[in-house]
Structure 1
Amino acid sequence: MSKAPTRLWGGRFEGGPSDALARLSVSVQFDWRLAPYDLMGSRAHARVLNRAGLLDDDELTRMLDAIDDLEQACASGEFRPTVADEDVHTALERGLLERLGSLGGKLRAGRSRNDQVATDLRLYLRDHVRRIVSRLVELQTSLIGQAEANMGVACPGMTHLQHAQPVLFSHQLLAHVHAISRDIERFQDWDKRAAISPLGSGALAGSSLPLDPQAVAEELGFTAAAANSMDAVSDRDFVAEFLFAAALTGVHLSRLGEEVCLWASQEFRWIEMDDTYATGSSIMPQKKNPDVAELARGKAGRIIGALVGLLTTLKGLPLTYNRDLQEDKEGAFDAVETLLLVLPAVSGLIATMRVNTERMEELAPQGFALATDLAELLVRRGVVFRDAHEVVGHLVVWCQVNDKDFGDLTDEELAKVSPHLTPDVREVLNVPGAIASRKAHGGTAPERVQEQIENLRASSDAAASWASES
């Protein structure tokens, strides 16, 4: 005779669920990722039941031994969920019942799948956010390394994808490091709000058993137990906020990927990708494609979609738990796994790319990119900026009509456009001088860029230390 499936509900039902309901309800195929965290919660809950007199010392020892054994069996693959297991909690209770008999059923006292899953998902995300931050630090290290290696190399700074002003290429690379630093800070700040334990809230109203949710919270590494049991089991703000931070990280990776695609193009030729981080074409032998950058750009949409999907799910839910919340996990798992897949590849791409310094410096002054420096020089000499802007604009038009660049102009030609354009204005009509003059806080001057490198290395080291905390 076949053994009846383990269920965490069913006492008031005369029969089992229909096949259609069972297929719709099952979540173990994706929430099995929570097994290690569910077992962590089970250990803490067993100890609380012991302190409450609901498990004697011998039962506690047997329970903890069985949890340890089950954890090892899960890790090795010896114990796996079956098609009859509705979710991770059902599968793990089956594992305990197989090891302990009826004693395994005592662990369910004082808790519900509602507070279990909310706790498990917080534990999972808090664990994995540190892994994500570690990978973000690696990307920062790659970018900073390239910034140091190419210190002093000028390139065209752009707005509207048009040449605007020359900048140090290091300055542009560090702009991406700053964006990643904000991503790291958001994840760290998120962790403070996620460090609240729902375990002990039961289905929605807490428990009449003499449990100690605060002790459970401390054992699991949370800062406190939830103050309101109804909020605790229904809150998914922590998932939505995590997905927002993940989505914005994805956007930053996408923007970096877009720039790499441009830099590697024949039109730009700023960089060459290492063969190990590029692909070829099945028909065109000459092609070297920036697939890592393109996939980073493309996969941002997955994470953005997960965020929008969860917010749409949450917007109409009454308190407290509703089965709609089963939809909170797949998007979160996918966001975690997507970032952990993309980040090492992007880090490797950046670390191994070769910078074409001659090409960059050739392009840096093109497109009359020194026009703003000339206008600001006139301002420093007392010319109203409105007038200086007009003077330099007329000079650009004159050069275009006469097919000349700033460096080709004679003293007479400068004076013909405006008496303000004396021969000594040439002091700013060179890229090194223009860059060196941008030494205000946040500017592209070499000393400011060096300060950024030092500050960003310090913050990156601090983030790495935070990520290594258990």
Structure 2
Amino acid sequence: MLTKNINNKTSSVQGGKIYGDFTSSFHSDIRMYSEDIDVSIAYSKMLKKIGILSSQESELIKNSLEEIRKEIKDNIFDWDYTLEDIHLNIENSMYKKIGEVAGKLHYGRSRNDQVATDSRLYFLRNVDLIIPSIIKFLEVLIKLSEKNIEILLPGYTHLQKGQPILISHNLMSYFSMISRDLSRFQNTRFNLDNMPLGSGAFAGVTIPLDRDLLADELGFSRVSSNSIDSVSSRDHITDLLYSCSSIMINLSRISEELIIWNTEEFNFINIPDEFTTGSSIMPQKRNPDYFELIRGKSGIPIGHLVSLFTSLKGLTFTYNRDLQEDRKGAMDSIEIVSQSLEVLSNLFSNLTFNQKIMLDSAHNSNILATDFADYLANKKMPYREAYEIVKNISSSLEGKYIHQISLNELRKFSKLFEEDVLDISLGNSIERRNSFGGTSTDSVKNQIKEAKIFLLKIKNEK
């Protein structure tokens, strides 16, 4: 049994004997110790302004908190595990350093609005690190697309060759996908940027808090407008978890595609050795473990999102202890996203393509079938009739591909085939797909141009 220390005013918060460490949030909340200290320093400044603290008392509190911050950072802080969270540990240490003045800091403040503010500030700062990491990855994708602008390969549906595309077009599809994740994190940041401090336990407080000052000190652009909602809602964390889940799903899909392209059966890409690992028994193996781990880790934020949704759906207003479990999953998820983006940015910066193998793979297939159907449709034949004719041609081929058969053979299926049908080729197929967003060289160059404008606008908005 853990028993409160009767000589410790901080321990009175726990209300008596508590069993074990089941109620402790210590191991997750220790990650946001610096935010907790920042919030307390800002609060002490505000209490001084409204006359609750003297200048000397406010300075004592600030100095003791900065000393505690350094002790934690240097790993010499004396954590008391009989106190169930970091907030009480920090307050307890302040008592030891400055005595009764430490007890004045909590006037008008509840752990409910304190931890809600701590976590918002922690996640805001981490999202501000993730956003530049996403931008960096997007920039790497643009550079890789430009470097390999004209390399072609077979495009796939259902893992079967469908139509020829440019690898730069495929890479820019990654850009389009991840740029939407960037927008999601920007929206998440907006929703996090709403300060709950000053809400008290849930009903507000009786002292004239200057919440605008607190927001300015902590870097929030807005203050929450309802004290009940401030301490009881966690949709800002579900927003964050959804953003983490979405980008990890997309990074997993990218990783899966490159895992397939890295197989001997495809051999489209060369992964740098430092991003592969060997086998413990098969000396010839180089395994794409980094891609596989990103694919594997993608399930973690999804699980945390579903877990928090499930916890929130049955909660009454206002605060319930269930909400203590809101943070750890999101903390783990943003770490996974940050690590994954760092890995992929460095990996893609050194990724190369086996151009001849990709070209041969496209050439040794019937991926020009659609172009032959389009040829007949351009001769005013109904497309469904053209489709049927080319389908029959494809099924009748023996030992060769549709672009390898002669004009005489083609005319057995339709007299509309003329000499110019022999102009159909992989390059011709790609360049004719010049529609907005298509795979032609000019279209991809335009996508790259628009992508650069998009990123420049993002940077200028900061």
Q: TM-score by structure 1 length?
A: 0.94
| Greater Cα offset, 435-444 or 140-149 | 140-149
For 2:12, the equivalent position in structure 1 comes to 10
Match of 1:409 in 2: 405
Query: CA offsets, 1:198-217, max 9 Å, x none?
Result: 10000010100111223212
Q: CA deviation at 1:4?
A: 5.4
- Equivalent residue number for residue 325 of structure 1: 323
List aligned pairs for 1:4-403, cutoff 5 A.
8=10, 10=12, 13=15, 15-19=16-20, 23-399=21-397, 402-403=398-399
Cα distance in 2 for partners of 1:126, 1:220 equals 11
Question: Could you say what secondary structure the match of 1:140 adopts?
Answer: helix
* Counterparts in 2 of 1:288 and 1:98: CA distance versus 1, 3 Å: same
Task: Give, in whole Å, the separation in 2 of the partners of 1:362 and 1:12.
Answer: 71
The reply to whether residue 420 of structure 1 matches residue 434 of structure 2 is: no
**In structure 1, distance between residues paired with 2:460 and 2:221:** 19
> Structure 2: 5+ residue runs without aligned partners?
none
My pick for the range that moved more, 287-296 or 213-222, is 213-222
Residues of 2 paired with 1:113 and 1:53: CA distance?
A: 22
- Deviations 1:40-83, CA, capped at 9 Å, x for gaps: 11122112211221111221222222222222222222325332
C-alpha spacing 1:108/1:283, structure 2 compared with 1 (3 Å)? same
Using the alignment, how far apart are the partners of 2:317 and 2:343 within structure 1? 42
Greater than 6 Å deviation, 4+ residue runs? none
Per-residue CA distance 1:369-391 (angstroms, 9 max, x = gap): 11112222322232211112112
Letter of the 1:17 partner, please give it. Answer: I
Deviation at 1:3, TM superposition (A): 6.3
**Partners of 2:10 and 2:92 within 8 A in 1:** no
Contact 1:270–1:360 (CA under 8 A) maintained in structure 2? yes
Partner of 2:449: 454
Partner of 2:429: 434
Do the aligned residues in 1 keep the contact of 2:379 with 2:416 (CA within 8 Å)? no
Cα distance in 1 for residues equivalent to 2:14 and 2:392: 87
Change in 2 beyond 3 A, CA 1:49/1:39: same
Contact 2:368 / 2:403 at 8 angstroms: preserved in 1?
A: no
Question: For 1:346 and 1:389, how far apart are their aligned partners in 2?
Answer: 41
Instruction: Write out per-residue CA displacement over residues 144-166 of structure 1, whole angstroms, 9 at most, x where no aligned residue.
Output: 22212211000011111110100
Q: Quick one: structure 1 residues 52 and 365, their matched pair in 2 at CA, closer, same or farther if it must change by over 3 Å?
A: same
Q: Secondary structure of 2:150's partner?
A: coil
After TM superposition, the structure 1 stretch with the greater mean CA deviation from structure 2, 48-57 or 112-121, is 48-57
In structure 2, what is the Cα distance between the partners aligned to 1:49 and 1:65? 16
**1:456–1:6: structure 2 CA closer, same or farther, 3 Å change rule?**
farther
| TM-score with structure 2 setting the length | 0.95
Relative to 1, partners in 2 of residues 1:6 and 1:423: Cα closer, same or farther, differing over 3 Å? farther
3-state DSSP of counterpart to 1:451: helix
> Per-residue CA shift, 1:317-362, capped at 9, x if unaligned?
0001100011111101110111122221122222222210000111
Q: Is the 8 A contact 2:195 2:223 kept in 1?
A: yes
Is this contact kept in 2: 1:143–1:173, CA < 8 A? yes
The count of residues paired between Structure 1 and Structure 2 equals 459
Helix, strand or coil: the match of 1:224? coil
- AA aligned opposite 2:18: P
Whichever residue aligns with residue 403 of structure 1, its letter is G
Match of 1:445 among 420, 440, 444: 440
SS in 1 for 2:436: coil
SS of residue matched to 2:327? helix
Structure 1 distance, partners of 2:119, 2:456, is 28
Residues 1:169 and 1:78: Cα distance change in structure 2 (over 3 Å): same
Inter-CA distance 11–390: structure 2 relative to 1 (3 Å threshold): closer
Give the secondary-structure state (helix, strand or coil) at the position aligned to 2:51.
coil
Q: Which moved more, 1:402-411 or 1:173-182?
A: 402-411
Contact 2:196 2:230 in 1 (8 A): yes
Gaps of 5+ in 1: none
Give 1:178 shift: 1.1
Could you say what secondary structure the match of 1:163 adopts?
strand
Residues 8 and 452 from structure 1, CA distance in 2 versus in 1: closer, same or farther, beyond 3 angstroms? farther
Q: Is the 8 A contact 1:257 1:296 kept in 2?
A: yes
Q: Between the two structures, name the one with larger relative contact order (CA 8 Å, sep ≥ 6).
A: 1
How far does residue 462 in structure 1 lie from its aligned partner after superposition?
Answer: 4.5
Return the alpha-carbon distance in structure 2 between the equivalents of residues 71 and 356 of structure 1. 52
